[in-house]
Amino acid sequence: MTKEALQQLIGNWLPELEFTEEESQFLNIHVSPQNLHTLMSQLKSNPETQFDYLFCLSGVDWGEKLGIVYHLESTSKRHMVVVKVTTEDRDNPILDTVYDIWATAEFHEREVFDFFGIRFNNHPNLKRLFLTEDWVGYPLRKDYEDDVNMILY
């Protein structure tokens, strides 16, 4: 399915979705946190999309907003999309888990929690993955400071 056909189909599911014309081979979809889980469930289960493979889930600090970028592929239909979700709440960032849709998200979401501090509603085991439990802060946030471990040139 082409990017244009995917956009037409998916746009009919949730009118609030935003599609961006980025220089990308993938269709880029922006979804609100409230509609994230609904969209992701539909992307996987709809017979026309069948996005059965979550091949990348990345945390991002866009300055004022924190968010997640999901790369999805349909191994049977051979199309891909990028889904982006953001939250402006840097003090208590919370998004819904997609672990119940793609089990591989369990460790990706733990990594995002570890390095960005984003919590995931209904995650089965949300705890640090790489850093120690007593680590203070989230090292991949742009506002993170660590005078002890910083290497200055």
116: tokens are 């960005």
| 3-121 maps to CATH 2.130.10.10 | no
Look over the chain and give the mean of its residue pLDDT values, rounded to a whole number.
Answer: 94
For the residues 70-88, what does the mean pLDDT come to?
Answer: 97
What sign does the dihedral 135-97-95-11 (CA atoms) show?
Answer: positive
Could you give the CA distance from residue 93 to residue 73 in angstroms, rounded to a whole number?
27
Residue 21 pLDDT exceeds 90:
no
Residue pair 65/82 in contact by the 8 Å Cβ criterion: no
With a CB cutoff of 8 Å and minimum separation 6, the contacts of 45 are none
Identify the pLDDT of residue 25.
86
Residues 93-145: tens digit of each pLDDT: 999 999 999 999 999 999 999 999 999 999 999 999 999 999 999 999 999 98
Could you tell me the residue ranges of all domains in the chain? 3-121
Identify the pLDDT of residue 148.
72
